[in-house]
Structure 1
Amino acid sequence: MAFLKHNDHTVCYRLLGDRKKPLMVLAHPLGMTQAVWDDMLPALLEGFRVLTWDLPGHGASAAWPEESDEITPEDLAQEAIALTELAGVDQFHFVGTSIGGAIGQQMLSKHSDRLLSATLTNTGAMIGTPDAWNTRSANVLELGLPAVAVDIVPRWFSPTACNQQPALIEGWRVIMGRGDDRSYALLCEMLGRVDFRDQLRESSVPLQLIGGSDDLATPPDTLRALAEVSSAAEPIILDQIGHVPSVECPDILTEILFRTLS
């Protein structure tokens, strides 16, 4: 791991692989960490240089600065761009899941010149409703992440994954519970404001959408709605997969990336 100070905020990141290979940037879901990509890294590094990072208040990244009372998609896009500049590249492939997909949409909307491609999984032009996100933000600030993780984490994974890995939910509850309450709450409020429906049609960047048939947070119809307002083709929907395919089916997701980006 390494650290970057960006806009008074310390960001934890990993930059791995051969600098001669094209760069792939991976953005993780809300409440998780860059560890969601770990099972994909050995294979990805055969074809790409890889950059991952922890969102504010997640993993080993610092909490969002107290003097700032909101986080925007542009804040997160600028973190990603600052990290790619450390890597010494102007263009890169972007892969993002859930809120990582929202960052990808911001990149498509405002920084498309930076992108070689975008692969967005388990996300939407809008995710949920403002009321639901604001309620979750309030609950986190009142009860803390360990308490709300009890109900949130089980929604990430399919029944198949939970049967195959009995400790999966408990492990990710621990990880989510270690995050910073305020940073998580601000990211919830950001997702309540996000609406990319009128911002993606003109992009010429190759865009691929992937979802899971058992995803409760961003069901397949959410991906299909995103396809309708963007340049993407019909989404790939993975059978018996939930919200985080990099955890549930890393080999399948890696194969898709190599098939479509190589």
Structure 2
Amino acid sequence: MQFLRIGDVVLSHDIHGLGSGKPALCFINSLGTDRRIWDAVVAGLRDDFTILTFDKRGHGLSDLGSPPYRIEEFSQDLAGLLDHYGLTNVIVCGLSVGGLIALGLYQSRPDLVRAILFADTAHKIGTPEFWKTRIDAVMEGGIESILEPIMSRWFTPPYRSADNAAYQGYCTMLVRQPKLGYAGTCAAIRDADFTEVARNVAVPALCVVGDQDGSTPPDLVRSLADLVPGARFAVIAGAAHIPCVETPEKFITLLRTFIADLPGD
């Protein structure tokens, strides 16, 4: 675990394989989670790649900064991390709001991006009314007031078993995120529309989605794949919104296949 000041925030992050000369991967976590959602994926890939994971501002052990946020702030934070470590030609993998951050990074710093895996995300997510309702609920009742409906979107019914200790752990992860950071990120998603950016992505892209995703359903993710020139689309069976947790082996297989097919590999 490392900490680095980027602009107005200190970002908590991990980096594996720096200086190895291996291809670089960066993973961007979703709303209400921290970088630990990628642990199983990182464990399956770390021998073959340089890997950066981080807690975006307002989440995990990173600073709160000044919410509400804009997606561009998250993208600038990530660019600062990549620049600090001298990472370019990076395969960026963004989950949910992480996909918007990946698009923001590509828009502002295309020199850093080799390819993008969009996981359970879209060019525009939700409506202003939806996000206002979410923000109001969190500010009035705390994140715990929306725990059950969020978890029903994140994970499939079998995973949400009371006997699944991991499920209970992810419930705890959500409710322990800073309330202002969560609401501030909701505002960033509310205001984000990367439709035109998606239409102009000129690097290889893969869009994946859990077949039971209740937050960004398969048809929505397919609409992103239809926008991004040449993008591939894949559905992960037996997963909801966070397949890197629920079906990490399937996620790793899709990512490895995508990387193996990249030009120059």
TM-score, normalised on structure 2? Answer: 0.92
Aligned to 1:197: 195
2:59 corresponds to which letter in structure 1? H
Please provide the CA RMSD for this pair.
1.7
Aligned to 2:55: 54
1:6 paired to 2:6: yes
* Contact 1:149–1:177 (CA under 8 A) maintained in structure 2: yes
Aligned to 2:154: 156
Question: CA, structure 1 residues 240+232, in 2 after alignment: closer, same or farther (shift >3 Å)?
Answer: farther
Pairs within 5 Å for 1:139-150: 139-150=137-148
1:49 corresponds to which letter in structure 2? T
1:249 paired to 2:247: yes
* Contact 1:212–1:242 (CA under 8 A) maintained in structure 2: yes
Partners of 1:41 and 1:99 in 2: how far apart? 19
* Contact 1:9–1:64 (CA under 8 A) maintained in structure 2: yes
Give the SS at the match of 1:70: coil
Is the deviation greater in 159-168 or in 173-182? 159-168
- The one-character-per-residue Cα deviations of 1:47-96 (angstroms, maximum 9, x if unpaired) are 2110000122211112123xxx5311111111111111222123211001
Give the SS at the match of 2:171: helix
Give the SS at the match of 2:196: coil
Pairs within 5 Å for 1:93-242: 93-163=91-161, 166-242=164-240
Aligned to 2:65: 64
Partners of 2:186 and 2:213 in 1: how far apart? 18
* Contact 2:205–2:232 (CA under 8 A) maintained in structure 1: no
Gaps of 5+ in 1: none
Q: CA deviation at 1:147?
A: 2.5
Aligned to 1:41: 42
2:170 corresponds to which letter in structure 1? W
- The one-character-per-residue Cα deviations of 1:191-231 (angstroms, maximum 9, x if unpaired) are 11111112222221111100011000000001111112221
Give the SS at the match of 2:114: strand
* Contact 1:209–1:232 (CA under 8 A) maintained in structure 2: no
* Contact 2:213–2:240 (CA under 8 A) maintained in structure 1: yes
Aligned to 2:90: 92
Partners of 2:18 and 2:2 in 1: how far apart? 17
Give the SS at the match of 1:198: helix
Partners of 2:212 and 2:186 in 1: how far apart? 22
Is the deviation greater in 21-30 or in 110-119? 110-119
- The total of aligned residue pairs comes to 259
Question: CA, structure 1 residues 255+75, in 2 after alignment: closer, same or farther (shift >3 Å)?
Answer: same
* Contact 1:73–1:106 (CA under 8 A) maintained in structure 2: yes
2:257 corresponds to which letter in structure 1? R
Partners of 1:248 and 1:158 in 2: how far apart? 8
Partners of 2:95 and 2:77 in 1: how far apart? 16
2:247 corresponds to which letter in structure 1? C
Partners of 1:224 and 1:39 in 2: how far apart? 26
1:60 corresponds to which letter in structure 2? L
Partners of 1:38 and 1:164 in 2: how far apart? 22
Partners of 1:226 and 1:39 in 2: how far apart? 26
Q: CA deviation at 1:25?
A: 0.5
Partners of 2:163 and 2:24 in 1: how far apart? 32
